[in-house]
Amino acid sequence: MRKLYLFLRPKKGSILIVSLWALGVLAILGLALAQFIFQQIKFTNFFMRSTISLPVARAAYQRVLFERRTGLASDYDSLKEITGEKEEQLCNDVSYKYYFAQKKIIDGEEIFIDESALINLNLASSRILEQLPGLDEDLAKKIVESGKRPFKRKEELLLIEDIDKEQFIQFKDLITVYGTGKININSVSKEVLSALGLDDDLIEKIFRFRKEYEGGDGEEGTIDDGAFTSPSTIASELQKFVNLSTRQQQDLISLANTLDVKSEYIRLSIIPQIKGKDGVRYSIIMHPPTGKLISWSEQ
């Protein structure tokens, strides 16, 4: 009988193994439960930010539309005005930031692209298009004579024979399919000015003006710093700041119907913020004079 008892009595080693195994199972279940709860919290926060982001972005759009259509905005858009980040608080936990451009990182440098500072594919001549990087006289002619013109999206250029992705990448940030062909001199890039036929010296003078000119009030840090204030006075304003040759004055005058000082079409970038965290970002192209919404997309 004693032998039978000794045989059936649980061994200490086996009890320890069973206990450790049970603890291991419980630990795995605990980790799985914790992971599940974490994912649920993460999803809930994401869902909340996504749900709130859209109406917040709409509020930003309506605010900008109201300001631009009621004359609260200035008669010109300086680079500082276009790229300057603005913020509006809606309530304690909800706010939004916005600026009037598309922000990109190119070669490690932060670049802001104003929609009204680009060359309109549907209106530009082949002479202008052939000056863009990646294009030449033959390709520019194919674009102008393409049956797909007017283009609805600039990516449609990839459907034209002999224009490949590598070429497209070189000039895609210099073109648009929106607008009347007017280009904002206050935010235009050097590459676009060069394509318009201005010489390098004149381009540098324009950029010096935009960087150094303190505006009509003579005070640094105000909204008119580095800004041309009227399309009809671009040449004269620049001439007061720096000497221009007769040829340079004539070149600017010849572009009187092309250059503007205000962005008619705006690419509005909106960053909703909920409880201190960024929500879904939106990129909107709008035409304030008519109130028309051209496109709306998530970034």
Q: What is the pLDDT of residues 193-241, one digit of tens each?
A: 999 999 999 999 999 999 999 877 777 777 778 899 999 999 999 999 9
148 in a structural domain: no
**290 Cβ contact list (under 8 Å, min separation 6):** none
Region 171-189 average pLDDT: 93
Q: Do residues 185 and 232 make contact, with C-beta atoms less than 8 angstroms apart?
A: no
The percentage of the chain sitting over the pLDDT mark of 90, rounded to a whole number, equals 53
At 208, the amino acid letter reads: R
- Among 228, 202, 205, which Cα is nearest to 215's? 228
Q: In what helix (H) or strand (E) does residue 13 lie, and over which residues does it extend?
A: helix 12-69
Residue of higher predicted confidence among 37 and 299: 299
Identify the DSSP state of 174. Answer: G
What pLDDT band is residue 299 in, cutting at 50, 70 and 90? confident
139 in a structural domain: no
User: What are φ and ψ of residue 84, in 5° steps?
Assistant: -65, 130
Instruction: Name which of 3-17, 42-56, 99-113, 146-160 the model is least confident about.
Output: 3-17
Chain centre distance of CA 265? 13
126 in a structural domain: no
Give the whole-angstrom CA distance, residue 266 versus residue 264. 6
Instruction: Report how many domains make up the chain.
Output: 1
3 in a structural domain: no
278 in a structural domain: yes
Determine the structural domain holding residue 232 and report its residue range: 8-121+177-299
Asked whether the bond before 231 is cis by omega within 30 degrees of 0, the reply is no
Q: Does pLDDT of 271 surpass 80?
A: yes
The percentage of the chain sitting over the pLDDT mark of 70, rounded to a whole number, equals 83
- Please state, rounded to an integer, the average pLDDT across all residues of the chain: 85
155 in a structural domain: no
- Among 75, 82, 69, 71, which Cα is nearest to 117's? 82
170 in a structural domain: no
Instruction: Name which of 36-40, 197-201, 217-221, 258-262 the model is least confident about.
Output: 36-40
The confidence score (pLDDT) of residue 10 equals 54
- Among 269, 281, 276, which Cα is nearest to 53's? 281
Give the whole-angstrom CA distance, residue 181 versus residue 257. 9
What's the pTM?
Answer: 0.79
What pLDDT band is residue 291 in, cutting at 50, 70 and 90? confident
**289 Cβ contact list (under 8 Å, min separation 6):** 68, 69, 264
172 in a structural domain: no
User: What are φ and ψ of residue 237, in 5° steps?
Assistant: -65, -40
What pLDDT band is residue 97 in, cutting at 50, 70 and 90? very high
3-state secondary structure 277-289: EECCCEEEEEECC
Cα-only R_g, the chain = 30
Q: CA separation (Å) from 41 to 36, 38, 124? A: 9, 5, 52
For strands 259-260 and 183-184, give the pairing. Answer: parallel
Q: Does pLDDT of 43 surpass 50?
A: no
